[in-house]
């Protein structure tokens, strides 16, 4: 079974992926972590040293390679992965169960303001600036996220409720 979790940063892709993995006994992977291991550099360093265009090409290459070489996995994508290099088309593959973990701007702002020190792209924003940044990104990215076969709205839901919604669709 191939399961892909897409969504904006802070939507819970890694958290939900790990919980699903324990429940269905399928290994969980995080695309950003795969990229960091491959390059032996952090995502931030790759961006700083080689730029976004290099990163997006690398991300797409590693994503496509991973999908073609693995049969049983849960994969959390980076927030921008579906938005570049036609990666969103993979979300529609017949053999893939893709899920968009959809959150509203306020949910994402509340979550990300608490962890902005760990996220270089947003570390200098105050709450209002972060809210505006997320609003713009969601507007730009929503079309790509919506290519997922399944949409799970996560606002005001527990991890258990989200997990159960996904399991109900899978089984």
* pTM recorded for the entire structure: 0.95
pLDDT, position 121:
78
CATH of the domain at 101: 3.40.50.300
7 is in an annotated binding site: no
Q: What is the DSSP letter of 61?
A: H
User: What residue numbers bound the domain in which 120 lies?
Assistant: 2-170
Task: Report the domain count for the chain.
Answer: 1
The confidence band for 169, taking pLDDT boundaries of 50, 70 and 90, is: very high
45 is in an annotated binding site: no
Question: What is the mean predicted confidence (pLDDT) over 7-27?
Answer: 97
More confident residue, 40 or 122: 40
14 is in an annotated binding site: yes
141 is in an annotated binding site: yes
Q: Express each pLDDT in 134-143 by its tens digit.
A: 999 999 999 9
13 is in an annotated binding site: yes
98 is in an annotated binding site: no
Whole-number Å distance between alpha carbons of 145 and 152: 11
b/e per residue, 68-104, with b = 16+ CB within 10 A? eeeeebbbbbbbbbbbbeebbebbeeeebbbbbbbbe
111 is in an annotated binding site: no
Q: Express each pLDDT in 37-76 by its tens digit.
A: 999 999 889 988 998 899 999 999 999 999 999 999 999 9
pLDDT, position 37:
97
């Amino acid at each position: 079974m191939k399961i892909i979790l897409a969504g904006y940063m802070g939507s819970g892709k890694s958290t939900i992926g790990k919980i699903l993995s324990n429940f269905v006994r399928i290994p969980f992977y995080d695309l950003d972590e795969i990229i960091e291991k491959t390059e032996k550099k952090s995502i931030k360093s790759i961006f700083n040293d080689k730029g976004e265009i290099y990163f997006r090409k690398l991300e797409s290459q590693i994503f496509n390679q991973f999908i073609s070489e693995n049969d049983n996995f849960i994969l959390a994508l980076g927030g921008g992965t579906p938005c570049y290099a036609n990666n969103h088309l993979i979300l529609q593959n017949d053999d893939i169960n893709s899920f968009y973990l959809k959150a509203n701007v306020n949910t994402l702002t509340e979550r990300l303001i608490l962890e902005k020190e760990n996220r270089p792209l947003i570390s200098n924003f105050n709450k209002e600036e972060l809210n505006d940044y997320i609003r713009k990104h969601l507007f730009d990215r929503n079309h790509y996220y919506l290519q997922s076969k399944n949409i799970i709205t996560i606002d005001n839901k527990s991890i258990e409720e989200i997990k159960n919604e996904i399991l109900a669709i899978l089984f």
